[in-house]
Amino acid sequence: MFRSKILYEIDYFTLLVAIGLVTFGVFTIAGAGVNEEVANLWYKQRWFKQIIWALCGFALLTLILCIDYQLLIRFAPAIYVIGIVGLLLCFIPFFVLERKGASSWIHIGPLPQIQPAEFAKLTTILMLARILAAKKEQWYGLIDLMKPLLIGMIPSLLILKQPDLGSAFVFIPITLIMMFVAGMPYAYLLLLCSPALCLLGISHDPLFILIWLALVGSILLVAILHQVPWSITVPFVLISLGAYFIVFEYGQTIWEHAPQHAKLRIEGYMQPDMDPNATNYNINQSKIALGSGGFWGKGLGKGTQSTLKFLPEYQHDFIFPVVGEQSGFIGAVSLLALFLLLLIRGMDTAVEAKTLQGALVAAGIVALFFSHILINVGMVTGLLPVTGLPLTFISYGGSFMLANLMGVALMINVRMRGPHEMLKDSIFISRSQMALPAHIPDDF
């Protein structure tokens, strides 16, 4: 009886989209490595390993579907601590595996290599859902803001230390979007984002100074009109002023002491024609691969940029150009359409969620997927600076595949245990109408 109910309630649309994305990724990886691994036994090739990881991921997905997501949220503090411990293991020489200057992987006994950062994103989403659902839309003081920010900041800083800038950045949209869905007013969101305006201090041009003053003044005015407590407004305005002063006065010194690879990436982004055979080599090869596929593509395994190894990281961060080269414009658009279906379904799941916790979990997963897709596609097309962030479901990697399918499992879990009719209003309008389960405490 229980099993038949589970099968009946499963969101097969989301599941089929996930299966389609996994299949798309396996074929792309197989085509990209056709020359590199032709001499290997079939069970040692990356496409086969990706299938094994996907099967393990679907097994985890099935297990998660059998557990009520509210039970996972109930034990979110313990789950969150496990995620933080995993990140801390990346700094212990006995466990850590360093690759390309980043200590992002660990190896425990006979277990396969694990990238804790991918799972920490999910554990943070569960923890934020617990904390924010307990607030019942109470945003009265600085502590109300700092508690969820701290939950997102701890894993982000640990990942940044590895260093993995791309994964560390993803925690920012996850945290802010979940806080917004939890009931945080627009004015609070603007105040939280105001310190980022300090980047305008890089230029000493009077026009940039006026722009910064106008933006900060507008945010302050919005905060006053929306009656944001001074206990919140004043600290964030002071933080914005301090950050701008530091960048304005010491920006050049900070730049000189920044990591060399980070400076080269930013310089390459600002100057696309700069050193095409070194600094901008990756992005130039990426654009060549994307453009050479034409409308229909060259065919599976026939892309020269990937098979001849002109394109770096062609099975990881730069796999989207492989899609464009092998499948052409039609393949790239089809992949983006699948991503769009997944994101829309996730947002719909958040709207239909029975509890605020469910809406928060679904919104957090959507924010996670959207951040990876936007940053990766923007990076390989030259619209954003190059940073190491894989493409959801498509890039090769065991931990990444498991985390993606676990995220889909949480989305389906929320939808399974929600009502069948949609809420009449948007989640962002009627967030207060969502019931909160009795077992969630009022404080952390």
- pLDDT category at 226 given cuts 50, 70, 90 is confident
Is 385 within a domain? Answer: no
**Residue-wise pLDDT tens digits, 123-140:** 999 999 999 988 655 665
334 belongs to a structural domain: no
pLDDT band at 427 (very low <50, low <70, confident <90, very high): very low
Residue 435 CB-half CA count within 13 A: 7
* Bigger pLDDT: 96 vs 152: 152
Distance, in Å, from the CA atom of 433 to the CA atom of 356, rounded to the nearest integer, reads: 9
Rg (the chain; Cα; Å) = 23
Arithmetic mean of pLDDT, 47-62: 93
Q: Which two tokens stand for residue 348?
A: 């719909």
- Using CA atoms, how far apart are residues 41 and 244, in angstroms rounded to an integer? 57
**Is the pLDDT reported for residue 34 higher than 80?**
no
What is the model's pLDDT at position 425? Answer: 35
pLDDT higher than 60, residue 208: yes
Q: What is the pLDDT of residue 433?
A: 43
Is 52 a residue whose pLDDT tops 50? yes
Q: pLDDT at position 441, please?
A: 41
Q: Give a yes or no: residue 6 inside a domain.
A: yes
Q: Is residue 184 part of a domain?
A: yes
Q: For 409-424, how does the pLDDT look when each residue is reduced to its tens digit (9 = 90+)?
A: 999 999 987 543 333 3
How far apart, in whole angstroms, are the C-alpha atoms of residue 226 and residue 184?
12
Check whether 310 has a pLDDT greater than 90: no
Overall domain count for the chain: 1
For the whole model, what pTM was predicted?
Answer: 0.88
Q: Report d(CA 215, CA 218) in Å as an integer.
A: 5
Q: Is residue 425 one of the residues assigned to a domain?
A: yes
Q: Find tokens 């930013």 and name the residue.
A: 266
Contacts of 202 (CB under 8 A, 6+ apart): 247, 251
208 found inside a domain: yes
372 occurs within a structural domain: no
Q: With 0-12 CB in 10 A as exposed, 13-18 as middle and 19+ as buried, what is 175?
A: buried
Beta bridge partners of 355: 435
Average pLDDT in the 107-122 region? 89
Residue 224: C-alpha distances to residues 35, 140, 234, 242, 361 (Å): 62, 14, 11, 20, 31
Cβ(351)–Cβ(422) under 8 Å? yes
Instruction: For residue range 346-395, list pLDDT tens digits in order.
Output: 999 999 898 899 999 999 999 999 999 999 999 999 888 888 899 999 99
**For residue 426, pLDDT beyond 60:** no
Q: What's residue 7's pLDDT?
A: 67
Helix (H) or strand (E) holding 103: strand 102-106
Q: Could you give the percent of the chain with pLDDT greater than 70? A: 87
Q: Is 431 left (phi over 0), alpha (psi -120 to 50) or beta?
A: alpha
d(CA 369, CA 407) in angstroms, rounded, equals 9
- Whole-number average pLDDT of the chain: 84
* Residues 305 and 289 sit within 8 Å (Cβ to Cβ): yes
Q: What is the pLDDT of residue 18?
A: 96
